Amino acid sequence: MAALVLACGAGAWRVALPAAATQARADWEKRWITPLDPNVCTTEPGQTSRFIDAAAEHALRVAGGDLTIDIDAATGRAQGTWTLHAVDAPWGWLHLQAPPGFTLHAARARQSPLQTEVHGSHIAVGLDACAREKCDVALDFSAEPGKGDWLPAERLLPRLGLDGDRVLRSPAERERHGLPGFITLPGELAAVPLAGVAPAGEWRWQARVRQGASAAVSTGQTSGALDFVLSAPDENAAALAAEAQALRACVAARMGDAPQVEAVAFAPASTPARLSAGTLWLPQALQGDPALRRAEMARAIALRHVADAGRLRQTRGAQWLASGLPGAVGLLCAAENASPAATQALLQRASAQATQALQAQADEVGAVAFAAFDGWVRDYAPLAALDSVRRLSTAQIQTLLAELGGGVRIQYALSAALGTSRATLALSMPLATNLRIGAAGRPEGERWRWQQGGWKRLTAFDQGWALAESADGALWLDAWPGYERDFTDNLAAPVLAAAASNSSPSAGATP
């Protein structure tokens, strides 16, 4: 199987930052990221191996570890020790991306202190002789997550690895700071995990939360990425348990498996839905929005499965796996028992958000494979992935995640699952379509590709597929890996839906 070709990373999305912040990020990139040769991208066939190089720049592997932490609820302060087992970092550095208020007091290996470099929120621990000997590393720390009854892991602990979202995306800022015009992201084993604070391993934690004279102890363990939330679940969400189990079943049917959902709770903070240590946390805003709630619940379950089964980090190409695959599964599951009109309303909102995100960052949108994970790709990728994901069988998704978890590079695994041409489209510049049901009941429309800061029209629409069908009609989408810009005219009446189905070619013919 040939690997797909990715364009080197042209500038991706706009970040309005103070001059001091951009300088700090530029200095960080110069210190820790070695630029790719723009003439020989490492994602081209023949230029890279099928499997990830365990000794690549700043590669980090860890078998798991133990965390003990003591939290004073009255002051919002915490202290603890995080012991990482069998740390393997051939380049000699353990990188930590610290949250606000985090202080590393000491790092130890074999009872000997380790030297550290601290620059803002980035901490680099020099491992010396332990770099290639898989030593245990103990981190003594304090944190100030603030007062509150909802403490996710990322407010208490640093993320292990290099954070590619620190890379400057603005072409003007890159030029101003003497950075290459193309973007290089941390490698597959160097980047921070796709979800959680540490990559998949055998993790255990014990947290003691003191409230006056009393204390509550919370323990947990996982074989996936280290991710937990310290909080008392909101009983108001208990009524959603059946809905969560139904959506978990939908995710499992599409992906071959899904993590267990042991409880459902509303998070007091404004945060995306997340599945952490068996609890499905939902933002309060979803209480009165059942369609979006179902999509977000399924997305969160699917994301946890993708992150753990694929053992993924935030490296180039993983954006489609972080946002596209789980987001599309979420939308498909939400549409399963919904009417075409309800599905249309859900997707129209999602499309409007994607359009707004792309417009807000217009001059600096680039290839999906080099986009910031916390940017426009979050809104664009789920819609753009709908057609590709609905084509994948359960066995194909299982194989995709198994290959990724076994160390196959993303571009090879996606090429095998989607086909090289479609995988290339999925990871390249954003694509858009505007399908509509014409007067004769036949789908018609146009397609575009993002190029040089705007949309360039490509070939006309040639075939479509129905996402939701009922006696009331059908909602039609383009059989192409782009996002639909306007769903208001995609709904066919019952008679027209039958005509559209008869007139649209087989979806399998389009790459």
Over the stretch 80-134, which tens digit does the pLDDT of each residue have? 999 999 999 999 999 999 999 999 999 999 989 999 999 999 999 999 888 878 9
Q: Is the pLDDT of residue 198 over 90?
A: yes
Q: How many CB atoms lie within 10 A of CB 134?
A: 14
- Residue 261's Cβ-count burial label (10 Å; 0-12, 13-18, 19+) is buried
Q: 93: which 2 tokens?
A: 């550095």
pLDDT per position as a tens digit, 313-360: 999 999 999 999 999 999 999 999 999 999 999 999 999 999 999 998
* Alpha helix positions (H), 287-419: 290-310, 318-319, 325-335, 340-360, 377-384, 386-391, 394-405, 410-418
Contacts for 110 with CB less than 8 Å, ≥ 6 apart = 130, 135, 136
Dihedral angle, C-alpha 502, 503, 507, 511, nearest 10 °: 170
| DSSP symbols for 368-398 | GGGS-TTSTHHHHHHHHTHHHHHHS-HHHHH
Q: How confident is the model at residue 16 (pLDDT cuts 50, 70, 90)?
A: low
Listed by start position, the domains of the chain span 64-160+200-227
Per-residue pLDDT at 36: 80
Q: Which residues pair with 214 in a beta bridge?
A: 211
The C-alpha atoms of residue 259 and residue 340 are separated, in whole angstroms, by 29
CATH 2.60.40.1730 applies to domain 64-160+200-227? yes
Q: pLDDT higher for 319 or 493? A: 319
Per-residue pLDDT at 511: 53
Q: For the chain, how many helices (H) and strands (E)? A: 14, 23
In the sheet that holds 103-109, the strands lie side by side as: 112-113, 103-109, 135-143, 77-87, 64-72, 202-211, 214-222
Closest to 133 in 3D by CA, of 76, 198, 186, 88: 88
Contacts for 105 with CB less than 8 Å, ≥ 6 apart = 140, 141, 142
In the chain, the percentage of residues whose pLDDT exceeds 90 is 75
Per-residue pLDDT at 501: 54
Q: 435: which 2 tokens?
A: 């399908």
Contacts for 482 with CB less than 8 Å, ≥ 6 apart = 384, 430, 431, 432, 433, 447, 448
Q: How confident is the model at residue 17 (pLDDT cuts 50, 70, 90)?
A: low
In the chain, the percentage of residues whose pLDDT exceeds 70 is 90
Per-residue pLDDT at 4: 46
Q: How confident is the model at residue 508 (pLDDT cuts 50, 70, 90)?
A: very low
- Taking the model in full, what pTM does it have? 0.93
Tell me what the mean pLDDT of segment 388-415 comes to: 97
Q: 171: which 2 tokens?
A: 């072409």
The C-alpha atoms of residue 116 and residue 488 are separated, in whole angstroms, by 56
Q: 409: phi > 0 → left, psi -120 to 50 → alpha, else beta; which?
A: beta
Per-residue pLDDT at 8: 45
Q: Is the pLDDT of residue 48 over 80?
A: no
Residue with tokens 């570890």: 65
The C-alpha atoms of residue 135 and residue 128 are separated, in whole angstroms, by 11
**Helices 325-335 + 340-360 axis angle, to 10:** 150
Residue with tokens 């939908």: 250
Q: Is the pLDDT of residue 15 over 50?
A: no
For the stretch 225-239, what's the b/e string if a residue is b when 16 or more beta carbons lie within 10 angstroms of its beta carbon? bbbbbbbebbeebee
The C-alpha atoms of residue 502 and residue 119 are separated, in whole angstroms, by 62
Q: 167: which 2 tokens?
A: 């890379």
Tell me what the mean pLDDT of segment 229-247 comes to: 87
**What average pLDDT does the structure give for the chain?**
89
Tell me what the mean pLDDT of segment 150-162 comes to: 96
Q: Is the pLDDT of residue 58 over 70?
A: yes
Closest to 365 in 3D by CA, of 11, 36, 3, 4: 11
